[in-house]
Amino acid sequence: MCIVMGADTATIPSLRQAPDVRRNLQSMKSCQIFLVIVVSLGSCLQKKKLEIEVLKIDQQFMVNLKSESYLLDSRILGPGEFYSEDVYFDKKKSIKIRLLKDSLGNVVAINKSKEGVILFIAEYYPNGQIKGKLSYVDGKINGPATYYYASGAKEREGQWHDHTPFGRWKTYKENGELLSTIYYDDNGHLIKTDSAK
* pLDDT, tens only, 134-166: 777 766 788 889 999 988 899 999 999 988 999
The pLDDT value recorded for residue 55 is 65
* pLDDT, tens only, 39-95: 444 433 333 333 334 567 778 888 888 888 999 988 888 766 678 899 999 988 888
Q: What are residue 24's phi and psi, to 5 degrees?
A: -110, 5
What is the pTM (predicted TM-score) of this model? Answer: 0.61
- Cα 99–Cα 100–Cα 103 angle in degrees, nearest 5: 130
| CA neighbor of 131 nearest in space, from 164, 159, 154 | 154
161 strand-pairing partners:
164
